[in-house]
Amino acid sequence: MTLKKCIVVDLDNTLWGGVVGEDTIALSLSPPGSYFVAFQQALRDLHDRGIILAINSRNNLDGSLNVIRNDPYMVLQEKHFAAVRVNWESKVQNIQDIAKELNIGTDSMVFLDDDPRNRAFVRGMLPEVAAPEMPDDPSQYVKFLHSLPYFSSDSITDEDKMRGNFYVTERLRKESEKHFSDRTEFLRSLGIELQIFENDMSSVARLSQLTAKTNQFNIKKQPYTEHQIEAFIRSPGFIVYHARAMDKFGDHGIIAFAIIHRVETHWQVESLLMSCRVFGLGIEDAFVGTIAMRAARSGAKTFGIDFEQSDKNIPAKEFVDRITSDVIRMPDWIACR
């Protein structure tokens, strides 16, 4: 079973009882409202483990936000949702828009909706989206959620726990960008800092996770276990680099990883990958450029990248093609240390 990273949830009769604008909303400490409060808490627990939450509801936005913001029994608040679609568009269109906004694949999403017609519609149009059958009885919602096989993980990293916050702060960045006519000026306004670590054992679990999950910006899809990464760190013929990024809106966490094979005066990049959530910020140039400068300072005469094409790593190919035909240009809006 493929693990999922995002739950797209309906509101009316799913996150709370009743329909906004038509019924009295059922959220309380006694049934049936308590069943929805418990369900929200179960979703909150998944959010705190790193599962992204998003809203997909057919209703008026203002009325729905009023419940989220003002009902005293709401466990989930606006800050817990990485994307919000409350409108009269189709549920399928909203799911596609949410995936585009969050820069994730629809195959990493689970759709939860009390209406069997909506579930069937999504299954028919987007078969890669998991749309499990929800129980008719809301008292069974929590048990149903815990039974889903999509969210188990043997290792929960700090980045897992922060993932929901990553996507919320990304919404803040996108809102800020609207005030800039020049992309470079917007990037300078972020105050991006890139911390680059060399042969650091403290984040091996996260690095192993990155090699297993990253597809788009990955020069060679080769998952590594924690033990394998530790072996590279200990080997005198290899260097393992990783990077953590932050800006004025928040911490991106650990977002880049590279394994360098040193052979006499040649440095070969055996593995290079980066999280999709920092595409387009210039971080890939800053990360590889810093490694190339360290190679030159160490006496390396040549620097190469071992690229293997897959059906998903077009962004990595475009980057490799660009830097092999041109000098790596270090972005002046990123401070590396």
Task: Give per-residue burial for 281-309: e unless 16+ CB within 10 Å, then b.
Answer: bbbbbbbbbbbbebbeeeebeebebebee
Copy the structure tokens of residue 62.
């203002």
Place 153 in a pLDDT band, splitting at 50, 70 and 90: low
Give yes or no for residue 64 having a pLDDT over 60: yes
Give yes or no for residue 49 having a pLDDT over 80: yes
pTM above 0.75, yes or no: no
Place 1 in a pLDDT band, splitting at 50, 70 and 90: low
pLDDT of residue 45: 85
Give yes or no for residue 157 having a pLDDT over 80: no
pLDDT of residue 155: 60
* Mean confidence (pLDDT) of the chain: 91
pLDDT of residue 181: 94
Per residue in 225-278, pLDDT tens?
999 999 999 999 999 999 999 898 888 889 999 999 999 999 999 999 999 888
Place 156 in a pLDDT band, splitting at 50, 70 and 90: low
pLDDT of residue 164: 67
pLDDT of residue 161: 66
For the chain, give every domain's residue range.
6-147, 181-336
Assign a CATH topology to domain 181-336.
Aminopeptidase (3.40.630)
Report the share of the chain in percent with pLDDT over 90. Answer: 74
pLDDT of residue 305: 92
Place 40 in a pLDDT band, splitting at 50, 70 and 90: very high
Assign a CATH topology to domain 6-147.
Rossmann fold (3.40.50)
Place 154 in a pLDDT band, splitting at 50, 70 and 90: low
